[in-house]
Structure 1
Amino acid sequence: MKTLKMKRVMIALDYDPTAQKVAEIGFTLAAAMKAEVILMHVITDIIYYSSVAYSPIMGYTGMMAMNQVKKDSAGSLMNASNHFLDKIKDHLGDKDIKTVVQEGDFAESIINTAKKQNADIIVMGSHSKKWLENILMGSVTEKVLQESIVPLFIVPTKKR
């Protein structure tokens, strides 16, 4: 039986406080396979970032205060997202990690980026939100799992 060599691991990150855990586990997985790492983040509708329910940027402790980002500016969100991924890259200690920021629907952007980057596996967290939130907003992880042809490694991030 021929085994497949995993050459590229794409780690999809959001600004949730669990992003560090997801990044570390994905990086460890990639290191075990001697695979290239791609960190990616998706920027969605700017209105989403200004909602009371969402607190971006502060998810990765000590990175950037929310008042440093103009929520109404796509450019500011792009800069903040690149800064966020650069900080995680520094935290992981590997200057060869590639970073990608995309705009659009979360799940579609993750799936399309994985295809474009020739990722062999996608690593992402699952927050296990309340059932009503899943009905209203849908589950990004679930959608990626259903629609992706690239294997998915899901890191459970629910607090116990």
Structure 2
Amino acid sequence: MKDIKMNKILIALDYNPTAQKIAEVGFSLAKSMNAKVVLLHVLSTPANYVTIYDPIMGFGGFANLDAQPDIEYLTKTAFGFLENVKNHLGDSTIITIVEEGHYADVILETAYSSRADIIVIGSHSKEWLEKILVDSTTEKILHDTNIPILIVPTKKKD
């Protein structure tokens, strides 16, 4: 059997507290394969950023927002978040990308344009009704790509 070589791993992160687990799993895979890492954050609608999370890898969230932020502010903050992740992982060679658009579409476009060999994403488990009503980014990516995907389950065990 021929060895599979992975040169580049795309890790898609949001501001959910589970981002640390996803980043660390993806980074560990990259290091074990001697692959380069690309961190991606897809900008969401401004209203989604009003949610306050606990600090994630040194990123404190959007605690000081008075109103809906503009796209320039969101982009700058997202790059700051990804820099914190880079520092947390301890690898200055990590590439950071921030894009705007539909989560699944942007993740796939970035995977193809960066020539990623694998995509690492988290699966935010939802209740059954929410799963029916809300389109799942993970399911769309699985359906629309031939790039291998590592899905990191992030649901807390009861």
TM-score, with length taken from structure 1: 0.89
Contact 1:58/1:66 (8 A) holds in 2: no
User: Residue 94 of structure 1 corresponds to which residue in structure 2?
Assistant: 91
1:74-96 per-position Cα deviation (integer Å, ceiling 9, x unaligned) = 11111111111110000000000
Bigger mean CA offset, 15-24 vs 68-77? 68-77
Kindly state the Cα deviation for residue 3 of structure 1 after the two structures are TM-superposed: 3.0
- Structure 1 residues 59, 134: CA separation in 2 closer, same or farther (over 3 Å shift)? farther
Contact 1:71/1:77 (8 A) holds in 2: no
1:86 and 1:159 map into 2 onto residues whose CA distance is: 26
RMSD: 1.7
Question: What is the aligned counterpart of 1:64 among 45, 60, 67?
Answer: 60
User: Residue 106 of structure 1 corresponds to which residue in structure 2?
Assistant: 103
TM-score, with length taken from structure 2: 0.90
Counterparts of 1:1-160 in structure 2 under 5 Å? 1-50=1-50, 55=51, 58=54, 60=56, 62-69=58-65, 71-160=68-157
- Structure 1 residues 93, 131: CA separation in 2 closer, same or farther (over 3 Å shift)? same
2:12 and 2:52 map into 1 onto residues whose CA distance is: 15
Where in structure 2 are there 5+ consecutive unaligned residues? Answer: none
Contact 2:42/2:103 (8 A) holds in 1: yes
Query: Which secondary structure does the structure 1 equivalent of 2:11 belong to?
Result: strand
The sequence identity of aligned pairs, in percent, is: 46
1:121-153 per-position Cα deviation (integer Å, ceiling 9, x unaligned) = 000110111122222221111111111121100
